[in-house]
Structure 1
């Protein structure tokens, strides 16, 4: 709301502020990441492979189907398909943390889809809309390492070698993470305020449908193939949340019409709102289940099994 109503108050939060905020959030995740869970995730690479396949199958097909179904103008069609072929966004890792999903699997899926996007994004665009968009593979991998892998590694290192320091600061991490994400989302809205207000209901509906069904089909896919609840939530979030920033940059660099970048700008806000809402819903669901289990335990006097 701040980004729409008073954009000047948050417009300063750009560039390095966003980069370092995301890096610090990932550092905080590394400080609290269950090491054993991460090791288990590495021992089951099939889950990462299946999740990455879902990312590059569900979203691109959704993007093309929705764009054609709503008969979007060509620039918006190209932009929607472009953002749908991008890898999972780094913010998905934080949403997984907040909603009790498998953070380790999320990090591995984000990394895998980011690296695969060097080849998959141009290939899918060529197949779906006949456009080839080259990607700077080295720059993409470097940014992924800087924002995701390096802070996580530092956090895990600190968790292992300075546990007392980690224990002292971990109480502040959930609040600071929420605050950081709120600032990032507000700045994205503020920077794209005019485009958001002028884009029209049809494009807004298209982006909303893309991410809504991305979350839904990602979750249903995970449950259908036998993933656990935590892993299914992870696939849902990874599929539903895209690296919209990458989509916006590619659109600006490789498409002449500036309107092609508008779907990515709207996507950045939309998937953040939907992802946060879904996270809150799952957290409330978990608390309700826990409360009911405790009530049953109190009535029966027998501990309820997890």
Structure 2
């Protein structure tokens, strides 16, 4: 995804602020919504959770590093600042959540039902703010940013699946990898762009991305849900045969 964002920026000759924002999105870890989409798409949910966790932990170092390397030619990138913000936004909440779940389970049970709507509202506010701040500029040149984001996520979903199947990975896991590659933690991109890039337009590709990958992921999940992956079909056949033998 970082390389896809870089090449799309070059292909479309994006302005520096949009290019930096697109590359920042590509360098973000996988989005947590991918786990739900994987479940709906009859993918490998365990693999999805593992990939999201691994990319999230790696993002503390890799997001600032890759953004500085790939976007540094477009705008000045504060790699140290990005590292500290990524640490605060990504790793600390995970550690805090694990701590609370371990030692304050009764409290977690009370607040857990409230968290999904709060999370959705927070995402809406952050992305809406990023777009509202640059509404006039988006109306003038926003189509280019939208096209760039669409190409980025399309390449992620497409190559994630095709390369997985080429390597001989089963259909269920290939669907999972496609979803994990195609769906990014765009909200992290919005936060980092707002805090560390002077031009508010840098956050626009991140905000657009949050809508784009959700639509694409949901559409894929709806299509894939209609067909059971071959591995799952084989498992169902084995279970039916075992039941027939017992009877």
TM bucket normalised to smaller:
0.7 to 0.9
Aligned residues: 214
CA–CA distance in structure 2, aligned partners of residues 181 and 250 of structure 1: 18
* Aligned pair partner of 1:84 in 6, 17, 26: 26
- Contact 1:241 1:272 (8 Å CA) reproduced: yes
Correspondence for 1:144: 94
Structure 1 residues 86-105: aligned runs within 5 Å = 86-105=28-47
Is residue 163 of structure 2 the alignment partner of residue 217 of structure 1? no
Greater shift in the superposed pair: 189-198 or 264-273? 189-198
- Contact 1:133 1:254 (8 Å CA) reproduced: no
Is residue 223 of structure 2 the alignment partner of residue 281 of structure 1? yes
Structure 1 residues 23-34: aligned runs within 5 Å = none
- Contact 1:111 1:144 (8 Å CA) reproduced: no
Correspondence for 1:240: 182
CA–CA distance in structure 2, aligned partners of residues 111 and 240 of structure 1: 16
CA–CA distance in structure 1, aligned partners of residues 124 and 42 of structure 2: 24
Correspondence for 2:55: 113
CA–CA distance in structure 2, aligned partners of residues 80 and 208 of structure 1: 11
Is residue 195 of structure 2 the alignment partner of residue 249 of structure 1? no
The structural deviation recorded for 1:152 is 9.3
**RMSD of aligned residue pairs (Cα, Å):** 3.5
Is residue 63 of structure 2 the alignment partner of residue 133 of structure 1? no
- Contact 1:100 1:283 (8 Å CA) reproduced: yes
- CA 1:192 to 1:108, structure 2 compared with 1: closer, same or farther past 3 Å? same
CA–CA distance in structure 1, aligned partners of residues 39 and 122 of structure 2: 17
The structural deviation recorded for 1:191 is 5.1
- Contact 2:127 2:190 (8 Å CA) reproduced: no
- CA 1:255 to 1:182, structure 2 compared with 1: closer, same or farther past 3 Å? closer
Correspondence for 2:108: none
The structural deviation recorded for 1:142 is 2.4
The structural deviation recorded for 1:133 is 3.0
Q: Deviations over 1:134-189 (max 9, x none)?
A: 32354221223567x689999xx9xxxxxxxxxxxxxxxxxxxx999987887677
Q: Which runs of 5+ in 1 are unaligned?
A: 1-58, 158-177, 291-302
Correspondence for 2:111: none
CA–CA distance in structure 2, aligned partners of residues 122 and 60 of structure 1: 12
- Contact 2:130 2:190 (8 Å CA) reproduced: no
CA–CA distance in structure 2, aligned partners of residues 150 and 273 of structure 1: 33
Q: Deviations over 1:66-109 (max 9, x none)?
A: 11111111000000001100000111111111111111111111
Correspondence for 2:149: 207
Q: Which runs of 5+ in 2 are unaligned?
A: 106-115, 233-243
Q: Deviations over 1:12-45 (max 9, x none)?
A: xxxxxxxxxxxxxxxxxxxxxxxxxxxxxxxxxx
CA–CA distance in structure 1, aligned partners of residues 7 and 51 of structure 2: 24
> What is the TM-score normalised by the length of structure 2?
0.74
